Amino acid sequence: MDLFTPLELPGGATLPNRLAKAAMEESLAGAGQLPDERIEHLYRRWARGGAGLLITGNVMVDRRALTAPGTIVLDARSPLDPFRRWAEAASEGGGRVWMQINHPGRQVGSEMPGTAWAPSDIGVSLGKHTKRFARPTAMTEADIEATVARFAVTARRAEAAGFDGVQIHAAHGYLISQFLSPLVNRRTDRWGGSPENRVRLLTEVVRAVRAQVAPGFAVGVKLNTADFQRGGFDTGDAAQVIAALGGLGVDLVELSGGSVESPATLGRTADLRTLEREAYFLSFAEEFLDAATMPLMLTGGIARQETARKVLARGVSVVGLASALAFRPDLPARWRAGEDVRVTVEPLGWKDRDLAGAGLLAFVRFQLHRMARGLEPRPAASPRAAFALDQLQHWRRVRAYGAWLARNPEPEDALVG
């Protein structure tokens, strides 16, 4: 199997090759939390870079709950024309484009307006940085059912805008991942307790989405191999989730790991388990390969062609590239041309490891924002300066989002569209 062999998905769609641009949070929402010409420029760049699949940064299903103030919202009242232009730009290279759809749950900054929800009243624990996150309220049955409906609305509207599929975000400590976690989900009703109950939100979302879109419209899921926290969601739980997704019309499951409390995607784990130097989660993913009834995609620390080929050789169907494409957006095309191009994304050696992780993410966003302005990535820039700029922009976005939300609260018919 070669990196540039097409892959036919269970629903009938075909990916032109086995390389995917995995989701990165762009923080490029324009006025009204909508996509604008900046994100069109960025995705047009990636579209011409040779990946067979582009998965967008997370798009929010509820305007009251954002992972960050610069994230895009697609709900029942969002105008579709900006999304049509985004999808068109992202499709210019002939690849497929999927919208990642998400709800942050409790992973919401304490400075953010709106809501912070979780399956149970358990907040993020991050030592001296805990106060950076809002204290969540436990969701009611009505909240849960409305959230399921929101995912379906967003997926239906993404299809109407011209996207080829959606990816339901059930990883990295966001809402669906919180329901999967025995540490965060302490509910005693049908949404918590047993593994079968904890997976219910995800399976209900998948069913609701699949019921609202055409059979050929792809539906993917992003799932943790583990949360890498003691007593948390682990590989055995992940195996049960993958089994539960069988027969529900899921076309691709992307495997990753960690959360804000255990940033495994940055190479660190709270439970001190050792990750691979590259393809962080490959050894964990191998536990699911024989039992999975749908293709699997692996993301996390992949930046070299030999590593990507190793992932395919071990039985994974699609290789996800993330940070590497922030620095070399044409990496797949260069590999296809026979160039042995490598990207090195080094962690920051700052004393505060949590700030170092945030600084690295800000440095990646700095590259994305340069490309969105038509400029080249700048790997030699100062990470500290990029972090300071990111913080300034963050507070500007918080004020802009708060003002927009106040002017545009959720209407009573929020689930109609």
Query: Which range in 182-186, 272-276, 278-282 is most confidently predicted, on average pLDDT?
Result: 182-186
The alpha-helical segments, DSSP class H, found in 80-192 are 81-90, 141-160, 175-180
Torsion angle defined by CA atoms of residues 392, 34, 103 and 61, in that order, rounded to the nearest 10 degrees:
160
Q: What is the pTM of this model?
A: 0.95
- Is residue 73 a contact partner of residue 145, using CB atoms and an 8 Å limit? no
The domain spans of the chain are 7-407
The CATH code for residues 7-407 is 3.20.20.70
Which of these ranges, 109-118, 191-200, 221-230, 288-297, has the smallest mean pLDDT?
221-230
What are 124's two structure tokens?
């993020």
- Is residue 318 a contact partner of residue 255, using CB atoms and an 8 Å limit? no
Amino acid type, 361: L
Report how far residue 265's alpha carbon sits from residue 262's, in angstroms, rounded to the nearest whole number.
Answer: 9
- Is residue 55 a contact partner of residue 21, using CB atoms and an 8 Å limit? yes
Please report, for residues 27, 98, 132, 326, 348, the alpha-carbon distance to residue 384 in angstroms, rounded to integers and kept in the order given.
18, 33, 20, 18, 10
Other Cβ atoms closer than 10 A to 271 = 14
- Residue 269 has a pLDDT of 61
What are 368's two structure tokens?
């994305």
Q: What crossing angle do the helices spanning 37-47 and 81-90 adopt, rounded to 10°?
A: 20
Q: Would you list the DSSP string of 191-207?
A: TSSSHHHHTHHHHHHHH
pLDDT in tens, 355-386: 888 899 999 999 999 999 999 999 999 999 99
- Residue 329 has a pLDDT of 97
Other Cβ atoms closer than 10 A to 351 = 6
Q: What's the whole-number average pLDDT of the chain?
A: 92
Residue 172: which region, alpha, beta or left (left: phi > 0; alpha: psi -120 to 50)? left
Per the DSSP assignment, residues forming a β-bridge with 249 are none
pLDDT in tens, 49-77: 999 999 999 999 999 999 999 999 999 99
Which runs of E-coded beta strand occur in 41-175?
Answer: 53-55, 59-60, 96-102, 117-118, 137-138, 165-170
DSSP, collapsed to helix, strand or coil, labels residue 216 as coil
